[in-house]
Amino acid sequence: MHKVEEFQNMLQGRANVKCLKDLDKKIEIVEDGKTFEENALIKARCLYQVLKEPVISDDSGIEVDAMDKRPGVYSARFMGEDTDYAIKNQAIIDAVKGKVKTARYVCVIAYIDENGQEKTYRATIEGEINDRPVGKKGFGYDPIFYYPPFQTTLASVSEEKKNSVSHRGKALQMFLKDLEATL
């Protein structure tokens, strides 16, 4: 639900954002891709087949260099989908202790237009794993994702400020720019 809220805020009423739970149909999507692009396209293709209208989907996560870019595409499922992010965040903090702390958020938006043409938009935000969780805003790994230009974690800044630099915000801007060029 957090992603839906982020998309709604970034789109500022220019589109109707829905998640799978909002649809009348039960749609089962198996995210078994090895890359963010593959997973974003898997979701978009499934939705397009059911809805028969243009769709966007995203796949995103955090890559931690000291963990060989894990959790990566498994970010939501890291340590189990039902595991609280406080536990996941502490596991990452522990894993990078004494190691390089560089990390990035990655977002890929997949778009399928009314003719079935597919396109993906990939964006990142570079940062570091903080020594401890800081901030109450955001969600997921935001309390441990230190963004040097802000000199704090993404969980410590307003949603508007975060979205202005975030992986999801950048990918969405790429998509919107491309979409507006075709209109």
Q: What is the pLDDT of residue 167?
A: 96
Each residue's pLDDT tens digit, 119-164: 999 999 999 999 999 999 988 999 999 999 999 999 999 989 999 9
177 is in an annotated binding site: no
Q: Rounded to the nearest 5°, which phi and psi values hold at 119?
A: -150, 150
Contacts of 183 by beta carbon, 8 Å cutoff, 6+ apart: none
Sorting pLDDT into bands at 50, 70 and 90, what band is 21? confident
Q: What is the pLDDT of residue 10?
A: 67
Q: What is the mean pLDDT of the chain?
A: 91
Helices (H), the chain: 2-11, 36-51, 85-96, 159-165, 167-182
Q: Are the beta carbons of 130 and 148 closer than 8 angstroms?
A: no
167 is in an annotated binding site: yes
Range of the domain at 34: 2-182
Query: Which two structure tokens, joined as six digits, stand for 121?
Result: 């938009």
Sorting pLDDT into bands at 50, 70 and 90, what band is 20? confident
Sorting pLDDT into bands at 50, 70 and 90, what band is 93? very high
Sorting pLDDT into bands at 50, 70 and 90, what band is 8? confident
Strand order across the beta sheet in which 152-153 lies: 70-71, 55-64, 102-112, 118-129, 145-147, 152-153
β-strand partners of 125: 105
| Res 50 pLDDT > 60 | yes
The active-site residue, picked from 59, 65, 94, 113, is 59
168 is in an annotated binding site: yes
Output 114 or 28, whichever has higher pLDDT.
114
Q: What is the pLDDT of residue 151?
A: 98
Q: Return d(Cα 156, Cα 167) in angstroms, integer.
A: 17
| Res 83 pLDDT > 60 | yes
82 is in an annotated binding site: no
Composition of the chain by helix, strand, coil, percent to 5: 45, 20, 35
Query: Which two structure tokens, joined as six digits, stand for 73?
Result: 């595409």
Sorting pLDDT into bands at 50, 70 and 90, what band is 95? very high
| Res 73 pLDDT > 90 | yes
Question: How distant is the alpha carbon of residue 11 from its chain centre?
Answer: 15
Closest Cα partner for 130 from 94, 105, 166?
94
pTM: 0.90
Count up the domains in the chain and report the number: 1
Q: Return d(Cα 163, Cα 175) in angstroms, integer.
A: 15
Q: Is 84 a catalytic residue?
A: no
The CATH number linked to 31 is 3.90.950.10
